[in-house]
Structure 1
């Protein structure tokens, strides 16, 4: 029988609800696991661009899907800041499996349910 490897202790922390400044700091340290509202046709059939829906079109309180926040950027054409998010629906969906969602307005609840993890 082999001895299992020990990698350390995993600690997690929740990012303050709705705090996109704290979310930005967190993603600079590594991936952040977030819950979002994916129950819109804009999200389900996303193929490119930046999703920028208002809260009546995509409630930040109706979280129903887990994804991984991996980065952020700015669209040079529109000047819109966005989050870069990895989805689990295969590379055939979105932009090679990724979606860009507008930053700064908690669009689709991107900052409503976010967690980080560290191994010590």
Structure 2
């Protein structure tokens, strides 16, 4: 998060000079996020994408109708198509079709955050086996339950974090706030860690440099199809 903050502080000084932004912005981005481009022509290609995405971020943030902000992060030199090819790889047979979003009554009076309670595991950026038996505990994961309704998801999150799938395309530039509009095709796995009357809070595996220290928020209801494909363990 310090890298992203440092970049934005410096960029705040640079925005007053558009020529400086165009000439040196990509270089500063490369330095801040420790980017390397070993292939011939790749740096120029990434520079063009970066400047295009930076302009779109500024346009988004200047729109008073938007409910969340975007920011420069480790993905700003990639296209959405490239990022989808890497991260939108959900492998569930029925996830390839648009989910029929049905309006459900929103149950009020809830405030749960397992991340604040220290109940979600830190992201390690490596493949590991599921922790079915944790030393010092007496519980094991014997099975799991799938759900596809927001009310069921609310019941599940009351017991602990829940694995969900969301339509994440277009959210790579997320910085802060509550997303209210997005697609309906689940494409990426996330961990639901909390809920309030206004939003679901989710953890994404992009490190603390992304979003709200690694987390993002979706408006209550089936925003981004968050309720449509969920799974939680039976302990």
Q: Please tell me the TM-score bracket, short chain as reference.
A: 0.7 to 0.9
Name which of 195, 207, 218 aligns with 1:72: 195
Q: Residues of 1 paired with 2:225 and 2:202: CA distance?
A: 13
Pairs aligned (count):
98
Task: Name which structure has the greater RCO, CA cutoff 8 Å, separation 6+.
Answer: 1
Name which of 125, 141, 146 aligns with 1:14: 146
Is 1:33 equivalent to 2:33 in the alignment? no
Per the alignment, in what secondary structure is the counterpart of residue 22 of structure 1?
helix
CA RMSD of aligned residues (A): 1.4
Is 1:96 equivalent to 2:210 in the alignment? no
More strand by share: 1
Name which of 178, 188, 204 aligns with 1:50: 178
- Which string of whole-angstrom CA distances, capped at 9 and with x for unpartnered residues, describes residues 20-59 of structure 1? 111111001001000111111xx11111110000xxxx22
* TM-superposed deviation, 1:108: 0.7
Q: Residues of 1 paired with 2:214 and 2:145: CA distance?
A: 26
Distance 1:64 1:49, change over 3 A: same
Q: Which has the larger radius of gyration?
A: 2
Q: Residues of 2 paired with 1:9 and 1:90: CA distance?
A: 27
More helix by share: 2
TM-score w.r.t. the length of structure 1 is: 0.76
Structure 1 residue ranges, 4+ long, deviating more than 4 angstroms after superposition: none
In structure 2, the residue matched to 1:3 is: none
Q: Residues of 2 paired with 1:10 and 1:66: CA distance?
A: 22
TM-score w.r.t. the length of structure 2 is: 0.40
* TM-superposed deviation, 1:9: 4.4
Is 1:63 equivalent to 2:197 in the alignment? no
Unaligned runs of 5+ in 1: 1-5, 75-80
Q: Residues of 2 paired with 1:39 and 1:65: CA distance?
A: 9
